[in-house]
Amino acid sequence: MNASKVLAAAALSLLAVAGAHAETYEGVLTVNSGVSRAEVAPQAVAAARAGNEYSDGAAAGAQAFTSTADRATVQAEAVAKAHDPLASLDRRAFYRDEVPQAYKKPSVSFTRQAGL
């Protein structure tokens, strides 16, 4: 009985060895190109100088911009926004992302008045 167990284990191990074969390493693949190094070198230099075509505009440096708005209009809007006491209220800063009604009332004053 002991011999049958040994024979069964040997048969299973032979099956496992025969069934499991490792992948062989074939090395680095060779490239069969029809272009010589002398022809590729100028293309590589041009590509390197062109920069990354797929990058975002952050790496592009300063971009030229022409505004269509009048300077006086933009300044007037900025001054009005700076003097608006409710302009800096962000609904995300309040409970359930809702600005309380007390802040929305036009009678609320965030500046102190001098009492004479």
Q: What is the largest CA-CA distance in the chain?
A: 114
Domain boundaries, the chain: 69-103
Q: CA separation (Å) from 66 to 4, 62, 70, 71?
A: 91, 13, 11, 12
Q: Mean pLDDT of residues grouped by 10 in the chain (116 residues)?
A: 74 64 75 86 89 71 84 93 80 78 64 61
CA gap 9, 95 in Å, rounded: 70
pTM exceeds cut of 0.75: no
Residue 18's pLDDT is 59
Q: Give helix then strand counts, H and E, for the chain.
A: 4, 0
Using DSSP's 3-state secondary structure scheme, residue 98 falls into coil
